[in-house]
Amino acid sequence: MDYVAWAEWYDIFYAAADPGDLDFYHGLCRASGGPILEIGVGTGRIALPLAKDGMEIVGIDLYEPMLKVAQQRALDVAPLDGSLKLIQADMRDFDLKRKFPVVTIPARTLLLATTEEDQIDTLCRAVQHLEEDGTMAFNLFYPDPEMLADDPDEEFLLEVVEKPDGGRYVLTAKNHFDLDSQLNHGTQIAEELDPKGEVLRRQELEVVVRYLYPEQVISMCQRVGLDVIEMWGDYEGSDLDEESDEIVVLARHSD
């Protein structure tokens, strides 16, 4: 994935997305008192408001362009009442030599590890940094049968963001699911349009993820020494079923 390009578009589209994940992660983090480890901090969309409000946040991300955006956003709202420490690191192999009461892997970041081994390694590293009575939280998309049957040539709408000048940003996508490898070789198409609908710029962003079924999530957690204490179909705690968009997981160290 071209993270230099994606860093430019990321906040445009996520700013207009359902804020449910923000409310969920912020509530969990604030209730703990911190400090918080966020794996896959990206541009700081989740971490920065927490740091601004007085919490200590440590965020890791593999991709420097995303971290540069996060750092600039932190400077733009400085001074922070708390702190935001940004570290370039691979989520499959990092060691901060400290533990946290809450470790999060938001925004479906675990799926960017595209093999079972890499996903297990990521969870192992997360567990290594989790206090004994701490809580881990992460979310994934639910791979319902209708989604997996998507026509790889059919483009569908993900998000539209209106601009102050009457133009808009449009994000569409195409999915290409491989049911054997559980990989989606997806394409996301970001466009900026002027008020007349003319395309000012257009960029295709390749995204490869390895999706997981709920029973696989439970099995992986067990393998790394975690018990899943909650598994929901959305951020409000709804039951998980084939109509769900998300798999939202809360886990703790196994007894």
Q: What is the pLDDT of residues 37-72, one digit of tens each?
A: 999 999 999 999 999 999 999 999 999 999 999 999
- Flag whether the pTM goes above 0.85: yes
| CA distances in angstroms from 44 to 30, 79, 93, 149, listed in the order given | 16, 15, 21, 33
Q: What is the pLDDT of residues 162-174, one digit of tens each?
A: 999 999 999 999 9
